[in-house]
Structure 1
Amino acid sequence: MNAEFIDALEEIEKEKGISKEIIFDALESALISSYKKNFGSSQNVEVEIDRATGRVRVVAKKTVVEEVKDDLLEINVEEAREIDDKYQIGDIVIVEVTPKNFGRIAAQTAKQVVIQRIKDAERDVIYDEFINRENEIITGMIQRISKNNVYIDLGKTEGILPPTEQIEGEVYNQGDRIKLIILEVKKTTKGPQIILSRSHPGLVKRLFELEVPEINEGIVDIYAISREAGSRTKIAVHSKDPNVDPVGACVGFKGTRVKAIVEELNGEKIDIIIWSKNIDEFIANSLSPSKVIKVEINEKEKAALIVVPDYQLSLAIGKEGQNARLAAKLTNWKIDIKSESQYDGDSNS
């Protein structure tokens, strides 16, 4: 190897962000294996590469002994003192043992090592970049669909949208651009695996952060989200500034902000609710769009009885119980809903 090789490594360092030192270390390790394989040696050898010239030398470490029993691992004290008269028994002497044709082996090995290290380093760079982006929103293009998995082009790498993280009924077409949340980044033997989600409640949270500057600036807080992906989401918000209406901020002028989110989620309904530290008020709000007449709280059981007008009972419960179910998830309370006449009937019986 020569100066051209060093120049090439510098180029790789600049372009790929792979440290020259990492390649040198890997190359030295690979050359030790090559030496032992080609020269059948059980010597205690090391390979040294001159970082400036690229010159490769193989050195053997030998212990200074009175009487040599294994000349691959030991050196006679007299021989050692010919190298340097300060050597004593027990010292380690370094002897150059570079074979004549080792340069050719080194060049072949270098090529393989560099290719492998570039692959490994690119995988590491991708892993390091994405591991710090878990729970972030990302836009990607649908590349292909295989065995119900949707593969998303993320630029430097590919992410996977597994069936469990897809929105039920959503159609994925090759070439479509969609927003997803980075759910998990795993290290595998084939490189980093980036698991994406369209159904996670965190996606709705991130979409609101993108669309609503007041959330991004920390004026409006998202307290909780409950979601049945593809159908409906409830999001509880709270304003730290009494002059800022949290629902108005999330809806936007003429509904533009929430409309953009609904469009991204292909028509998923979104209820924006005001969070209150007063639990009965929060529970009443959570049943939006239904009106609530009365809330009875059982703190011990973390259960609430909600009374709604007769004509709004089905609205409060929702189709297949969805509204009540999402409200319970949002508040983390058990919710029982009764109409006014049911409640009055119970009270009078």
Structure 2
Amino acid sequence: MNTEFIHALRDLEREKGLKMAVLLEAIEAALVSAYKKNFGSAQNVRVHIEPETGEIRVFAQKKVVERVGDPRTEIALSEARSLNSTYEIGDIVEKEITPKEFGRIAAQTAKQVVIQRIREAERNLIYEEFIAHENDIITGIVRRHEGKNWIIDLGRVEAIMTPTEQIPTESYSPGERIKVYVVEVKKTTKGPQVLVSRTHPGLLKRLFELEVPEIHDGIVEIKGVAREAGVRSKIAVHSREERVDPVGACVGPKGVRVQAVVNELRGEKIDIIKWSDDPAVFVANSLSPARVLDVEVDYENKIGKVIVPDNQLSLAIGKEGQNARLAAKLTGWKIDIKSESEAGDWEPWDEDLDAEV
């Protein structure tokens, strides 16, 4: 090892952020193992690398004891004091034993350690880069199909999109650019493992945050998202300023904002709902596009009894109950829906609940 190697380590410190002292410590530890392996030594040794010149020195270490049990690792107090009168029991005596041919072994070992540390540093940098994108949107390129998983190229790492995170109605083609939601970033020995999704409600939320300036500026707030990916979604929004219509802001001029989100999700229908802290109003709004005549709420059981016009019943329930199901998911309330003509069949609310409402 020579000064050129030391200069190379200093360059790595600047370029890769690898501290030279840490690198030297790791190389020294590796050289201890290399020495014992190549020279069959059972004694304790210490390796020191001079940080200015790169000179390597190997020292045998022996513990000072009263009576020697193992001469390979111990030295008698009397013998130690013949070397230096200040030695006491428990001290470590060192003697240089650097082999002449150790330079070649040291150079190869140091190279291996540095390469390993560079790889570890790069893996850590990539992990730090992508952990910052967790719960966020990122654009990737579809690369290949592995079993039921799709591999998405995110630049410095390939992400995995499992079947549950794929929209059933979508098909993907290698080379296609798509937006995905980063669900989780795991640190592994082979580098970061990134899991992405096209079905996560967070994807819809982040798309609106990117498209609607009022959301980005904090004027309009997304209160909730309910999604059946690829088919239909509902999003509840609230404005912190009375003069701003939250639904209108999300729809945008001539529907351009919501259409951009729909296009990204390849035609997924999106209902934008005005949030309310009044459960009856919120439940009624959540059943959009159906028109609601009345809502009675059971606060204790979080149930809303909804009455709609006869010709709105199928719209309120939706195909296979989808509209009502999404409304319930969005509001967190169980929703019972009946037409105006059927409403008389309902039993009246408990008097205490009537009073509370």
TM-score by length of 2: 0.93
What is aligned with 1:280? 280
Number of aligned residue pairs: 348
Q: Secondary structure at the match of 1:341?
A: coil
Q: Distance in 2 between matches of 1:347 and 1:160?
A: 52
Q: What is the 5 A alignment of 1:178-257?
A: 178-257=178-257
Structure 2 distance, partners of 1:168, 1:25, is 53
> Corresponding residue for 2:12?
12
1:55 corresponds to: 55
Letter in 2 for 1:141: I
Q: 1:152 to 1:22 in 2, by over 3 A?
A: farther
284-293 or 113-122, which deviates more: 113-122
Aligned counterparts of 2:286 and 2:275: Cα–Cα separation in 1: 8
- The separation in 2 between residues aligned to 1:83 and 1:250, in whole angstroms, is 84
- The residue aligned with 2:300 is 300
For 1:155, the equivalent position in structure 2 comes to 155
Structure 1 residue aligned with 2:351 = none
Counterpart of 1:289 in structure 2 is: 289
Deviations 1:9-55 (A, max 9, x none): 22323333333333223222211111111122222222222222222
Higher mean alpha-carbon deviation, 59-68 vs 154-163, is at 59-68
1: CA distance, partners of 2:267 / 2:145: 23
Percent identity for Structure 1 against Structure 2: 62
Letter in 2 for 1:51: P
Three-state SS of the structure 2 residue aligned to 1:33 is: helix
* 3-state DSSP of counterpart to 1:323: helix
Give the letter for the 1:181 counterpart.
Y
Extract unaligned runs of 5+ from structure 1: none
Q: Any idea what SS the aligned residue of 1:289 has?
A: coil
Q: Which residue does the alignment assign to 1:317?
A: 317
Residue type of the alignment partner of 2:61: K
**Considering only aligned residues, what root-mean-square deviation do their CA atoms show, in Å?**
1.7
User: Residue 61 of structure 1: CA displacement?
Assistant: 2.4
For the pair 1:37 / 2:37, whether they are aligned, the reply is yes
Structure 2: gaps (5+ residues): 349-357
Aligned mates of 2:206, 2:156 — CA distance in 1: 22
Q: Give 1:284 shift.
A: 0.3
TM-aligned CA distance change 1:15 to 1:144, over 3 Å: farther
Partner of 2:334: 334
CA distance in 2, matches of 1:156, 1:11: 23
| 1:92 paired residue number | 92
> Displacement, 1:191?
1.9
How far apart are 1:81 and its partner, in Å? 3.3
User: Cα distance, 1:238 vs. partner?
Assistant: 0.5
CA deviation digits over 1:248-283, x for unaligned, max 9?
111111111111111111011111101100110000
Q: 1:210 Cα shift?
A: 0.8
Between stretches 132-141 and 9-18, larger displacement belongs to 9-18
Match of 2:140, SS?
strand
Q: Secondary structure at the match of 2:80?
A: helix
Q: Distance in 1 between matches of 2:272 and 2:132?
A: 30
2-side partners of 1:53 and 1:292: how far apart?
Answer: 83
Matched position secondary structure for 2:5: helix
Aligned to 2:353: none
How much does 1:347 deviate?
A: 7.0
Give the counterpart letter for 1:212 in structure 2.
Answer: V
Shift of 1:346: 4.6
**In 1, distance between residues paired with 2:306 and 2:258?**
28
Distance verdict in 2 for CA 1:115–1:57, change over 3 Å:
same
Letter of the 1:185 partner, please give it: V
Matched, 1:130 2:130: yes
What TM-score results when the alignment is normalised by the length of structure 1? Answer: 0.95
**Using the alignment, how far apart are the partners of 2:23 and 2:178 within structure 1?**
38
SS in 2 for 1:306: strand
Partner of 2:108: 108
Worse-superposed segment, 111-120 or 272-281: 111-120
Q: Over residues 111-147 of structure 1, what are the superposed CA-to-partner deviations in whole Å (9 max), with x where a residue is unaligned?
A: 2112222222211221222223310111111122211
Deviation at 1:77, TM superposition (A): 3.2
CA distance in 2 between partners of 1:126 and 1:84 (Å): 52
CA distance in 2, matches of 1:22, 1:205: 43
**Which amino acid counterpart does residue 287 of structure 1 have in structure 2?**
L
Q: Letter of the 1:64 partner, please give it.
A: V
What amino acid maps onto 2:43 in structure 1? Q
